[in-house]
Structure 1
Amino acid sequence: MAERETINGTPVTEEQIAAWADEAEAGYDVEVLKKRGRGRPGRGAEPTQVVALRLTADELAALDARSEREGKSRSEVIREALASG
């Protein structure tokens, strides 16, 4: 294996690859994998969807200013604006 192969900056060794292969061959408990909490936490009982949004430079600056002022993320500010209707 090339020396430059890394995961998050940590070199991957042949021994680590062999251990991963052994683990995979032994099989995985699907229920345990489902409980690992990968990805972002949900926002409710129903699935959410990512939506792309185009903003002008002025709109983005206003959004960022409000986010900073209120100590919230861009997404939180947008969701609150939609909810207030």
Structure 2
Amino acid sequence: MAERETIDETPVTEEQIAAWAAEAEAGYDVAGLKKRGRGRPGRGAEPSQVVAPRLTTDEIGALDARAEREGKSRS
């Protein structure tokens, strides 16, 4: 028995695939899609920089412990 494709554990039906194909064949509103935006929202007028610190194993352990205590992620 072949496995069925799912999205968020919900099976994808032949009707849904046909609807997606019809939508694609009709064309998309590119301007509307671009308006939605992607990624995280900005934090100000200027672009943010990503900083990658180097941490020891002990520092990572302390960071993870604090994050767990405060109910936060490592980030």
TM-score by length of 1: 0.58
Following superposition of structure 1 onto structure 2, how do residues 4-83 of structure 1 map, counting pairs within 5 Å? 4-48=4-48, 54-68=54-68, 73-75=73-75
Q: Comparing both structures, which one devotes a greater share of its residues to helix?
A: 1
Q: How many residues align?
A: 74
Q: Which segment drifts farther, 60-69 or 46-55?
A: 46-55
Judge conservation of contact 1:67–1:73 (CA < 8 Å) in 2: yes
Residue 23 and residue 48 in structure 1: after superposition, are their counterparts in 2 closer, same or farther (change >3 A)? farther
- Structure 1, unaligned runs of 5 or more: 76-85
- Computed over aligned residues only, the root mean square deviation of the Cα atoms, in angstroms, reads 2.9
Secondary structure (helix, strand or coil) at the match of 1:74 reads coil
Following superposition, the deviation at residue 55 of structure 1 comes to 3.1
Alpha-carbon distance between aligned partners in 2 of 1:46 and 1:28, rounded to the nearest angstrom:
31
Identical-pair percentage: 85
- Structure 2, unaligned runs of 5 or more: none
Alpha-carbon distance between aligned partners in 1 of 2:50 and 2:6, rounded to the nearest angstrom:
30
Residue 38 and residue 59 in structure 1: after superposition, are their counterparts in 2 closer, same or farther (change >3 A)? same
Q: Which segment drifts farther, 36-45 or 9-18?
A: 36-45
Alpha-carbon distance between aligned partners in 2 of 1:13 and 1:70, rounded to the nearest angstrom:
42
